[in-house]
Amino acid sequence: MGKNNELLDKWNKLAKELDIGANNIYCDLLYSYMHPRREYHTLDYHIGDCLNEFESARTFILQQTDKILELQFSLWFHDVIYKSKSDEEESAICAAETLRKYNKPEKFIDDVSRLILITKHKEIPKKTDEKIIVDIDLSVFGKNSRKFNEYEEKIRREYYYVGQKLFAEKRIEILEKFLDKNRPSIYFTDFFREKYEARARINLERSISKLSTYLK
């Protein structure tokens, strides 16, 4: 079974549980995530990886929170808008508008919006469901060298129009925030911290060191 079929099966299962229009929404998601400017933030790459990470941690997640459907829907939509000045805000609005079309409860919509907004990574997540989605979104940091290098190459291609020095400056600024001494760890749940923390620190430090060579 191809990756696209696997994604469609996952979406259909979620849509059935939520009682929403599976085909129409999935077509809209495909359209958004297939934009030619995207390399990493695509449906079959980043979103697919996030959904796989969710499945790998499902038993743990079920023990931690009852926001299972909220988390899954948020993962599908958290990068649906990309390369605007307010990606997460617009993605949250898109998710909310979609859910309102099917008369989903406002509490559910508010939770989805909150979960999408926390993936801005501008603040420390406080609620358990927020910690889970942040860890899933950042799981690529802790992958093996091949996967992490592939991720970095895709991110660079998404910003092909930015000069190397400026890209290195901004990228270092972003990555250093995850290693900041005021941040307790890269990951906020025991499951992902044990699985990825050590490797993520190695990957980020290596990336920062490599990027720093462009600033000399």
> Tens digit of pLDDT for each residue in 63-95?
999 999 999 999 999 999 997 789 999 999 999
In which band, very low, low, confident or very high, does the pLDDT at 2 lie, cut at 50, 70 and 90? low
Axis-axis angle for helices 68-77, 128-137 (nearest 10)? 40
Instruction: State residue 24's pLDDT score.
Output: 87
Instruction: State residue 170's pLDDT score.
Output: 97
User: For residue 34, which of 71, 79, 84, 92 has the smallest C-alpha distance?
Assistant: 79
Whether this model's pTM surpasses 0.75: yes
| 4: pLDDT strictly greater than 80 | no
* Share of residues in the chain with pLDDT > 90 (%): 91
Of residues 181 and 168, more confidently modeled: 168
Domain ranges of the chain: 3-122, 141-215
In which band, very low, low, confident or very high, does the pLDDT at 22 lie, cut at 50, 70 and 90? confident
Instruction: State residue 1's pLDDT score.
Output: 43
DSSP category for residue 58: H
> Tens digit of pLDDT for each residue in 99-130?
999 999 999 999 999 999 999 999 999 999 99
CA distance 28 to 138: 25
97: Cβ contacts below 8 Å, ≥ 6 apart = none
CA distance 103 to 82: 26
